[in-house]
Amino acid sequence: MLQSALLRWFINAVAMAVTSLIIPGIIFNRFSDLLFASALFGLLNISIKPVLILLTLPINILTLGLFTLIINAAILGLTAALLPGFIIYGFWPALGGAIIISLVSIVLNMLVKYKK
């Protein structure tokens, strides 16, 4: 279980690092900020995201699930608001970052499952 949590944390950190390289409006001051941000982002995804999905279910159904990207961007923005070493300059970088993090996480999770 601990190994699985550490693997997810690592995947999240790699996804966030790749995102900061691709999206100009997402910046980490130090490597430790990246590690803290990936841990906090994971915790917020576990705790807050299900509640937000449930509260926005009607609009999520109307948009065929695309509103989930807005929720991911909001959680990414909240992560940046809570950590001073993690900076996001506006909504569009947060939305682009949410998309890139999702895509990189999907690919890395598929690779990990393929190796097992």
Nearest alpha carbon to residue 56 among 44, 69, 47, 46? 69
Domain locations in the chain as residue ranges: 2-115
- At residue 86, what are phi and psi to the nearest 5 degrees? -120, 120
pLDDT in tens, 92-110: 999 999 999 999 999 999 9
What tokens were used for 11? Answer: 């995947």
pLDDT in tens, 48-60: 999 999 999 999 9
Q: Is the pTM of this model over 0.75?
A: yes
Per the model's pLDDT, the better-predicted residue between 91 and 116 turns out to be 91
So what's the pLDDT on residue 4? 83
pLDDT in tens, 10-22: 999 999 999 999 9
Helix or strand run (H / E) with residue 106 = helix 91-115
Residues counted in the chain: 116
Whole-angstrom distance, CA of residue 107 vs CA of residue 50: 22
Please check whether residue 68 is in contact with residue 53, taking contact to mean a CB–CB distance below 8 angstroms.
yes
